[in-house]
Amino acid sequence: MVVVAFSLQSCFVAKDYERPQLEETQNLFRTDQLPTDSLSMADVSWKELFSDPYLIGYIEEGLQNNIDIRIAIQQVLAAEAYAKQGKAGYLPTLNAGASASRSYLSENGQQGAILSGLGTDHVDQFEVSGDLSWEADIWGKIRSNKRAFEASYLQTVAAHQAVKTRLIADISSTYYQLLSLDAQLEITRRSVAVRDSSVSTIQYLKEAGNVTQVAVDQNIAQYNNARALEVDLEVAVFRTENTLSILLGKGPQPYPRSILEDQSLETELKLGVPSLLLRNRPDVIAAEYSLVQAFELTNVARSNFYPSLTLSANGGLQSLDVDNLFSASSLFATLVGGITQPIFNQRQIRTQKEVAETEQEQALLEFKRSLLNAGNEVSNALYSYNAETEKFEYRELEVEALRNAESNSSELLKNGYANYLDLLTARQSALSAELNLIDTKLQQLLSVVDLYEALGGGWQ
């Protein structure tokens, strides 16, 4: 029977997984602005993408201490244990046991009467035994189950990689937001100082009869508006630092950092061909391993329709007297070989197969959706980067023009050639334009980070 079992190992019902041919991978990026080739910026290490030493240090710290990363590592270890269990499916099961029993029988019964005649009222029995069982993998059920465990493990590894990619993007985005808030706070404080001086100037002009009390009140209101904006920015800095603390797995605290003007991401923007997302993007990788797992579990469900061949053995030592337990005459053994064919089991096997097939189809659809989402994110990030780059040039021209307007309005007002409303309008517009310029610079940096993450960079 053992020979027959091994000879049937090559007769598999289980199919081999093949990656489905998806038309969705052909035109995912929706852009003609960059050539697509075999290279992708996702292949660039995050240590090369970012040049700020503070940011690099924070990313390294986050990868070590972040709570989500540590949870993901524990999930990988748990999946690894299951994968080892799946590999052990080919091995037999072996159990050992020892027992001792004493039975008291009725004296009026046949066996009790015999014992009574022998001068005893009980029977002792001592046993040391072992059970061995092995199932032949004729239809590939054990093999498919092993591959399902392996796919589950690899899916967990990919999920851990996705956490790393997301964490790197979150830390860099939060850091850039801090730099942006610092720059906006600096401009606002300069504006507060200028408006404070302007209040004194406008009061002198009122005393000289050049303006009315309305102009003084308007300048005071504009000064206090800038002070309120300063407070809002300070609160935003405080909260953003706390957000960075959570990402780094640390308690709330301030963080040293550089300035926004020094930031540049000079890595060449290369998308690569869409199919590279299948090996670079962790969530897409995880989605495919989920499909592989569902495929192999369908194989397992299908193989349950076929007979299973099981070999089992039981042996050990058994004696009525503990003194004779370990003698040769106490040995016993049983060897059983059996084939079990399911016939009627309340439709359980068919239900398992139908459910497995529907779950496989769901996994395929999830795989397709992950690809479409990835392509959408790549397209959006690239388009945003190009738009913010173009917009930054216009913002710079806007700021330059409004600064000139503010300066000229101030001089004209001092010499009686302009209305105070012109100065207030120019000053408020200039502050708004400078803040918008900083925000555009921030969005440009964030779009590169988003593109890097969308292409699956960071975890390698």
| pLDDT tens-digit map of 169-191 | 999 999 999 999 999 999 999 88
The burial of 360, by beta-carbon neighbours within 10 Å (0-12 exposed, 13-18 middle, 19 or more buried), is given as buried
Report the chain's mean pLDDT, rounded to a whole number: 84
- Which residues, including other chains, have CB under 8 Å from residue 349's CB and lie 6 or more apart? 301, 304, 305, 342
325 inside domain: no
Residue with tokens 């300070």: 234
pLDDT surpassing 50 at residue 300: yes
pLDDT number for residue 253 = 92
pLDDT number for residue 185 = 93
314 inside domain: no
Q: How many CA atoms lie within 13 A of 109 on its CB side?
A: 8
pLDDT number for residue 418 = 63
pLDDT number for residue 96 = 92
Instruction: Report, in this order, helix, strand and coil percent for the chain, each rounded to 5.
Output: 65, 10, 25
Which tops the pLDDT comparison, 127 or 22? 127
pLDDT number for residue 303 = 87
> What CATH number does the domain containing 379 carry?
1.20.1600.10
Q: How many CB atoms lie within 10 A of CB 185?
A: 18
225 inside domain: yes
214 inside domain: yes
Q: Distance between alpha carbon 170 and the CA centroid of its chain, in Å?
A: 12
Mean pLDDT within 100-119: 78
- Which residues, including other chains, have CB under 8 Å from residue 247's CB and lie 6 or more apart? 62, 66, 167, 170, 171, 174
pLDDT surpassing 70 at residue 1: no
pLDDT number for residue 10 = 47
The burial of 409, by beta-carbon neighbours within 10 Å (0-12 exposed, 13-18 middle, 19 or more buried), is given as buried
Which tops the pLDDT comparison, 35 or 109? 109
5 inside domain: no
pLDDT number for residue 404 = 85
411 inside domain: yes
328 inside domain: no
Confidence of residue 19 (pLDDT cuts 50, 70, 90): confident
pTM of the model: 0.81
pLDDT number for residue 41 = 79
247 inside domain: yes
Domain range holding 352? 13-91+138-307+348-454
Q: Distance between alpha carbon 322 and the CA centroid of its chain, in Å?
A: 61
Mean pLDDT within 12-22: 79
pLDDT surpassing 90 at residue 58: yes
- How do residues 420-446 score in pLDDT, each as one tens digit? 677 777 878 888 889 999 999 999 999
Which neighbouring-strand residues pair with 122?
A: 104
Q: Can you tell me the distance from the alpha carbon of 458 to that of 460, in angstroms, rounded to the nearest whole number? A: 6
- Domain tally, the chain: 1
Cβ-contact 445, 368 below 8 angstroms: no
